Amino acid sequence: MPEESKKFMYINRKAPYGTIYAWESLEVVLIGAAFEQDVSLAFMDDGVYQLTKGQDTTGIGMKNFSPTYSALGDYEVTKIYVDKESLEERGLSLDDLQHLVWEDEDEDWAEKDSIRLVSRTEMADILAGQDILFNF
């Protein structure tokens, strides 16, 4: 990673379907990942639904893009922060989310977890430490 790299964070607050925000955010993340910046993602409020398992969009005629989150590891996006309280308020837990991993090339492709559950206070500190925030 170049020394002058900036810390980019993409904040996702909306449910996956119904608006285009979730998919647009994911596309921008994938494009931005090509520029080798320090990229991380945050999911809070209804945004936590974006990461849930077993999404089925057949009834709404939209593409189910949830499998694409599993590609983030390939794009070296390895820090996915999820707001713990947002999950709890919706009756969800880590088990309801997809198991997202990245493979560490330096450790013989060992699989490591990408999702980190954080409290609201921790999230505030993480946000404060970023150079650039994108809100979706």
Residues 130 and 9: beta-carbon distance below 8 Å: yes
Confirm or reject binding of residue 34 to another protein (CB under 8 A). Answer: yes
Q: Which residues face 133 on adjacent strands?
A: 9
φ, ψ (nearest 5 deg) of residue 4: -85, 10
Among 68, 96, 98, 130, binds another protein (CB under 8 A): 68
Confirm or reject binding of residue 135 to another protein (CB under 8 A). Answer: no
Containing 27, the helix (H) or strand (E) segment is helix 21-32
Contact region for another protein (CB under 8 A) — 29-37, 43-51, 86-94, 116-124?
Answer: 29-37
Confirm or reject binding of residue 27 to another protein (CB under 8 A). Answer: yes
Confirm or reject binding of residue 65 to another protein (CB under 8 A). Answer: yes
Q: Whose structure tokens read 């080798």?
A: 36
Q: Whose structure tokens read 């430490």?
A: 129
Residues in contact with another protein by CB under 8 A are 27, 30-31, 33-34, 63-65, 67-68, 70-71, 74-75, 103, 105, 109
